[in-house]
Amino acid sequence: MKTMNQVDQTIKSTNEYSLFQRINGNRKISQAHINKLVEAIKGDVSCITYNPILVNEKFEVIDGQHRLEAIKQLELPVFYIQEKGLKLNNVQALNSKTKPWTPMDYAKSFSELGIKEYQTYIEFKLKYKLNHDVLINFLSLSQPMTGESFKNGKLRIEDEERSHDICNKLLDFSVHYERYRYRSFAFAFKIMWSNENYDHTRMLNKLESGHKIEDFVNTNDYLRLLETIYNHGLPTQKKQRFY
C-alpha cells in the first residue's frame, strides 16, 4: 500500500480529451467559471503545467473539471496526475477547500448516485423552501441528523407522509408570521406538533382571532408563546402543556 510519501506525483500530458470522464455525483459545470479560466490561461499558458488536473485510474476527474473544459476550449494539452482509488468523497473534500459545497450540492451529488433520500430532500426543498437545518430536522423527525451525517450520505427519512404534514402545517403560519421559516420558531412548532394532543385547527383559530407571534431568539421562548396563544381563554382542564 502506498503511503502519503509514495504517491506517484508524475505529471503526464495528453491531447486525447476523450480519455477524461466526469465522475458521477460531481457538481455541474459552470460555464461562467470556464470562461474566467479561459481568460486566465490565455494570460499565462504555463499555468496549466504547474496546476495539473487530478484523475483516478478510470480517468474520472477528481479535481479540475473546469480547468479541463477551459483547456479543451483552447485546444491545449491536458497536464494531469493519475492516482488509483480516488472517489467522489475525494472530489467533495477537495472542492470544499476552494468553493464550499452547499447542502444542495451534496443533495444533487448523492441524488445522482441514486440515493432516494436525497432525491426526496430536493423535492421538499423546492416545494417548501425551508432552510437546511429545519428541513433535515423535519425529514428525520425523531432520528438524530447532523450536518456531517448529511454530507456523508447518511440522510434517513423516518416517515415521508408525516414530514409533508409538518411542513404543510408550518406553512399555515405564513399568513400570521413572516418569520415562520426561522430556525428557532420552526423547531418550537415541531415540539408542539409532535404532541399527540396538538390540535392544529385550534392553533390557527387563535391566530385568526388576533393573537400575534412576537420575535424571539431561542426555541424555548417561541414555545412558551405558542403555548400561551394555544391555551388562551380555555378552562384549565382543556389546556395543553408543550413547554
For the segment 63-80, what is each residue's pLDDT rounded down to a tens digit? 889 999 999 999 999 999
**What is the Cα–Cα distance from 215 to 70, expressed in whole angstroms?**
49
At residue 101 the predicted structure's pLDDT band, cuts being 50, 70 and 90, is: confident
What are the cell numbers at 231?
A: 391555551
What are the cell numbers at 86?
A: 480516488
pLDDT of 3 higher than 60? no
Look over the chain and give the mean of its residue pLDDT values, rounded to a whole number: 88
Position 70 scores a pLDDT of 93
At residue 39 the predicted structure's pLDDT band, cuts being 50, 70 and 90, is: confident
What are the cell numbers at 172?
A: 399555515
Domains present along the chain, CATH in parentheses: 4-96 (3.90.1530.10), 103-238 (no CATH)
Strand order in the sheet with 53-55: 12-14, 78-82, 53-55, 60-63, 21-22
Cα 208 from chain centroid? Answer: 35
Position 7 scores a pLDDT of 45
**What is the Cα–Cα distance from 47 to 149, expressed in whole angstroms?**
37
Type and span of the H or E element at 99 = none
pLDDT of 6 higher than 50? no
Rg of the chain over all Cα atoms, to the nearest angstrom: 25
Q: What is the mean pLDDT of residues 168-173?
A: 98
State the pairing for strand pair 60-63/53-55.
Answer: antiparallel
